[in-house]
Structure 1
Amino acid sequence: MVAFENTTDNVLTVERSLPVEVLPGGETPRGSLFLSSMDCWALAVVPTLYTFDRGDANVVDVIKQALSRVLVHYYPLAGRIAKNSLGKLTVDCEKKLGVPFVEASANCDIEDMGDIKMLDSDILEKFVYRDPTEKMLEVTPLLTAQVTRFKCGGFTLGVVVNHCMTDGISAIDFMNSWAEIARGKPSSFIPCHDRTFLKSRVPPQIGDHYNDFARVGDISNMTTSWEREPTVFKSFHINGEKLATLKKMATTDGQARSNCSSFVVLSALVWRARTMALKMKPHQLTQLLIYVDFRPKMKEHMPDGYFGNAVVLPCCLCTAGELIDEPISSTTERIKKAIERVDEDFVRSAIDYMDKYRFEPYRVSSLLISSWMGLDYGDFDFGWGGPRQLGTGNLLPTDCVFMREESENKKDVAVVLGLPLSAVNTFQELVQI
């Protein structure tokens, strides 16, 4: 067992075993799996942590054995990234090298973890297993798992998955299937691994609306703040009353619009507040990109159970001066129109663009917002009840996530993002309307 201690107060100690490779518990297809251009743009690992208030002595074995069985259905997760003769990325399903699984124990109660929505990387990495080959694309595992037991009898399940394999909706389907099998039930969900539905067109047909892929520079010298100051990742609480107030502010006629969602008005608030907190110059271009699931947008019905990335990022682009000076009703209209542009033509054009051009990371003047509000993780019952909390970490400076806030008011939201230290208080004041 290897011990990890919290370097700040030496309170939290986690001991964990060496990883054991879990293989599919039955015959699975061989060959290679096609990855779409959207999958290939998403080559980043995503850690998530789930907390469960109770378990028993069998919790590790039950979850590990269920993982072996669920991998029969989700066999690509046991494979490795490879390149075909054209240099395109695929998943090699011949070499089933398995999923590293780690058993661990913590020296505290699970309540001592507090709010886990955004964990410091030093703490998070005690509860998720990051493979040492993570930066070696064609060697590293596509999924890892760690179960950590606590003194109180509760446990956490930490999962690290390569984003090229799954978006949020597919990840939920996988976790639900894993939990069902752990409870002794057959999986109620059959994944479809054929991603050729999202092949690019030959020749590519790229539309003329691609501000979505514009690379916006940093003329406000914000990068220096990120480099010189500590980055503070924090969860900001927005309650239902504040959201209702926002909706009233986001009207042009004084009457709340039924079609103006909480997500849209909150995105407008966060974009404006971040722009001001980072002290962008008036002529600085600022870019908001929204993750949109396009499964319901396709005229040709996508395969049932599609397992992979099915999201696009429609964009709003304007100067910081325009954004700050305009009423929030105008900002919400920008966002609504961007989202409404997503149809099959938009999606196909985005696929062609991503297949033709190399991905370049977004600059700090861009903000990418994703909502986990609709991801129903409450049913991840491995036999001892569903998870109490979901958390993550290691976000990029351009990322922002909306998560459910655990409270009596089901409309409360947690806004999770990272900011340079000097910008945190300003952002806090601006979102506390």
Structure 2
Amino acid sequence: MAPQLSFSVRRKEPVLVAPAAPTPHEFKMLSDIDDQESLRFQIPVIQFYRNNHTTTDPAKVIREALAEALVFYYPFAGRLRELDRNRKLMVECTGEGVVFIEADADVRLDQFGEELQPPFPCLEELLYDVEGSGGVLNCPLLLIQVTRLACGGFVFALRLNHTMSDAPSLVLFMNAVAEIARRGGGEGTATTVSLSIPPVWRRELLDARSPPTPTCVHREYDVLPDTRDTIVPLDDMVHRFFFFGPAEVSALRRKHVPAHLRGCSTFELLTACLWRSRTASLGADPEEEVRIICIVNARSKFDPPLPRGYYGNAIAFPVAVSRAGRLCGNPLGYALEHVRRAKSSVTEEYMRSVADLMVARGRPHLAVARSYMVSDVTRAGFRDVDFGWGKAVYGGPAKGGVGPGAPSFYIPFRDGILVPVCLPGPAMKRFEEEIERLINEEPPTTEQDSTPSPVMPSAL
């Protein structure tokens, strides 16, 4: 990419796009998974599209399709309200609409570089923060900007209130807009448009039981005072992106995965590698407890599975815990086993227990001190969203370090995975060295204990 690239953007005045037809004015409760404290923030996504050699205006097509889609997804056109009791969130379906910005930039797509990847130059211009739009309560739930490029391509950027949807749910909505756009945008009317996957609200499916009775131990919600000042402000962070292609993943598997873990997924392997390297780079006290939080899509864990069109949050945050000294002093298989065990702990009962915990304990925040969080969006489908200009050249998170704990997203890139990492400057240099050593150096020939210390269920 071109990190020194600069360009100017001419924006029209932001407008509110309302549903194209009347929608119910009602109140819809979020689920007890949706409205936890840790999801009360805005998450940015960006898509880049090439010129399709037509004179069609992408901003006009998408704006009209958006209005049609909001007839089906009308809660997105409302505003979040918080009830006094236990900070419960609900949507007032007011039909006010979502923020839409139409813009033009004096830059061509190829000027962003041969291979698009974050961080993107002038992101704040491609996804403009309209005053008064960035809160959680009583604010628009979506902000969308379509920026036409000088080459005829365009950028579609979106910011979402995370309490409403997770990544798979957001892609579901974006595909609804794209499906309508490919049919000609607003040429039809909302009463004649249909969707191949109708949206399903059904947030009660992930509500707490009565009475709320947590049955699992959820150490991801431990109360952890940051006594060692381990939460570094994002302004003090260095951002780097690390690419793991087939060669890098193969090297890690060959050199560091013990026989009994050969069936591990690439996500599990990379997560173990990143957790161990990050902990070593930060110079943690060997007796200090460190954590890895894996964001897990739990839709398939339900029996029956959640409806296909469900567009709420259905994610869990299982955690693995280890002393820093054991994590960094053992071979990579130690970290890998911890990660696999944490990930496999997510079941339907686990999700029910999380919902119960939210109500029983007043929606506690995730424990982010001494924690590293990762989220795999390689299969979310952002790049496949087609508004009529083909698949996105790049589609997915607009930047790393968004939300509690500055998580790293696993982003599909070329034939591998791109991972943004945020660390203080000196730690970043050590982190780069740790990753390079794991990939390039042969493992020690001396026997080491690669079996994790006994971990009771409470450690997950």
TM-score using structure 1 length: 0.90
Counterpart CA distance in 2 for 1:242 and 1:78 is: 44
Counterpart CA distance in 1 for 2:182 and 2:200 is: 23
Residues 53 and 135 (structure 1), Cα distance of their counterparts in 2 relative to 1, 3 Å cut: closer
Aligned to 1:3: none
- Deviation, 1:248, is 2.5
Contact 1:248-1:256 at 8 Å conserved across structures? no
Counterpart CA distance in 2 for 1:370 and 1:158 is: 20
Matched, 1:386 2:381: no
Counterpart CA distance in 1 for 2:129 and 2:122 is: 13
- Deviation, 1:85, is 6.4
Aligned pairs (5 A) from 1:192-211: 192-211=200-219
Aligned pairs (5 A) from 1:11-410: 11-41=6-36, 42-55=39-52, 56-84=55-83, 86=85, 87-93=87-93, 95-114=94-113, 117-119=117-119, 123-134=122-133, 136-184=135-183, 186-218=194-226, 220-223=228-231, 226-227=232-233, 230-253=236-259, 257=262, 259-357=263-361, 358-360=363-365, 362-390=367-395, 391-393=397-399, 395-396=402-403, 397-406=405-414, 410=415
Name the amino acid aligned to 1:200.
A
Counterpart CA distance in 1 for 2:233 and 2:73 is: 40
Contact 1:22-1:68 at 8 Å conserved across structures? yes
Residues 137 and 220 (structure 1), Cα distance of their counterparts in 2 relative to 1, 3 Å cut: closer
- Of residues 227-236 and 268-277 in structure 1, the stretch that sits farther from structure 2 once superposed is 227-236
Aligned length: 416
Counterpart CA distance in 2 for 1:359 and 1:43 is: 12
- Deviation, 1:395, is 1.9
Classify the secondary structure of the residue corresponding to 1:102: strand
- Of residues 154-163 and 347-356 in structure 1, the stretch that sits farther from structure 2 once superposed is 347-356
Query: Over residues 390-411 of structure 1, what are the superposed CA-to-partner deviations in whole Å (9 max), with x where a residue is unaligned?
Result: 24125245311111112xxx2x
- Deviation, 1:377, is 2.3
Contact 1:217-1:363 at 8 Å conserved across structures? no
Structure 2 gap segments, 5+ residues each: 185-193, 440-460
Residues 216 and 25 (structure 1), Cα distance of their counterparts in 2 relative to 1, 3 Å cut: same
Name the amino acid aligned to 1:395.
V
Classify the secondary structure of the residue corresponding to 1:38: coil
Query: Over residues 135-154 of structure 1, what are the superposed CA-to-partner deviations in whole Å (9 max), with x where a residue is unaligned?
Result: 54332100011000111111
Query: Over residues 270-299 of structure 1, what are the superposed CA-to-partner deviations in whole Å (9 max), with x where a residue is unaligned?
Result: 001111111111112111111111111112
Classify the secondary structure of the residue corresponding to 1:335: helix
Contact 1:395-1:418 at 8 Å conserved across structures? no
- Deviation, 1:378, is 3.0
Counterpart CA distance in 1 for 2:137 and 2:174 is: 25
Structure 1 gap segments, 5+ residues each: 1-7
- Deviation, 1:57, is 4.6
- Deviation, 1:379, is 2.5
TM-score using structure 2 length: 0.85
Query: Over residues 86-117 of structure 1, what are the superposed CA-to-partner deviations in whole Å (9 max), with x where a residue is unaligned?
Result: 45210001x21101111111111122223654
Classify the secondary structure of the residue corresponding to 1:260: coil
CA RMSD of aligned residues (A): 2.2
Name the amino acid aligned to 1:309.
N
Contact 2:80-2:90 at 8 Å conserved across structures? yes
